Amino acid sequence: MTAVILDGRLIASEIKKQVALQVGQLAKRGIKPFLATIQVGDDPASSSYLRGKHKAAEEVGIQSENHHLPANTPQDKVEALLGQLNTNPRVHGILVQLPLPRGFDEDRIIERIIPYKDVDGLHPINQGKLAAGKEELVPCTPKGIIKLLSHYKVPIAGQRAVIINRTTLVGRPLANLFLNRDATITISHSKTPNLAQITKTADILVSAVGRENFQIKPEHVKPKAAVVDVGLTRVEGKLRGDVDFEAVSKLAGFITPVPGGVGPMTVACLVENTVQAASIQTRG
């Protein structure tokens, strides 16, 4: 048996087509969705991710601009910029590219974004809404995972989902999305003992560790499970995920590739969130 490949590039393309139609509908009302991003420092991975985000925005007709600040920019200068973007009616979506350089209080930065412009869905108010079962501006990677599973008709209700990640970026919001869809959730992490015993119970296994010395092998996976790989590590100059794709794909029922799985879905959900934010702010 070979697992069904969950093709994130294909589904992301379909999402972006729908977003482009929504952008066209907003344009008829004189509304031009606009995304502003902030990058502090010159981290190569952050620069690459941002280029992909702005390219996707351009593809669907969303206007965008990046504010690139030196790594030694004081925190209050970044907060002042956020204040300007918050009050600018032309700007519908704000994204601060994470991680920020050492010395920054990331939580405080995120809290400075107006919740209805927070297209990353990381503001405590947006996280709280999600925890309460109200899905509005949802973090992009978890949202993309749910959309990918749903497209391929992977059952969620009544299934056991195991997530190896407890961050507010992936693990916690994804757990809430699964709960909203009637799954039974286990969150595991770096301090979880006997990890394979837990992961082998999963009908849906999501790994978002991203460490060179970590890998999901067949002994971690329940036969016919859906395996979602969010990890990304550069090993000997090559990008790889958390999952031993070749070995696990012979056992799993569904599996995401790296690259081409969750990554494109994250970007597609960002532009979708930007249009959603524009719609929220311009409701008649």
- In the set 39, 97, 127, 215, the catalytic residue is 97
Q: Establish whether 242 is a catalytic residue.
A: no
Which entry of 16, 22, 39, 53 is annotated as an active-site residue? 53
Are 62 and 35 in contact, with CB atoms under 8 Å apart? Answer: yes
3-state SS string over the chain?
Answer: CCCEECCHHHHHHHHHHHHHHHHHHHHHCCCCCEEEEEEECCCHHHHHHHHHHHHHHHHHCCEEEEEEECCCCCHHHHHHHHHHHHHCCCCCEEEECCCCCCCCCHHHHHHCCCHHHECCCCCHHHHHHHHCCCCCCCCHHHHHHHHHHHHCCCCCCCCEEEEECCCCCCHHHHHHHHHHCCCEEEEECCCCCCHHHHHCCCCEEEECCCCCCCCECHHHCCCCCEEEECCCEEECCEEECCECHHHHCCCCCEECCCCCCHHHHHHHHHHHHHHHHHHHHCCC
In the annotation, is 43 catalytic?
no
- Of residues 39, 117, 118, 120, which has the active-site annotation? 120
Q: Known catalytic residue: 97?
A: yes
**Residues forming the active site:** 53, 97, 120
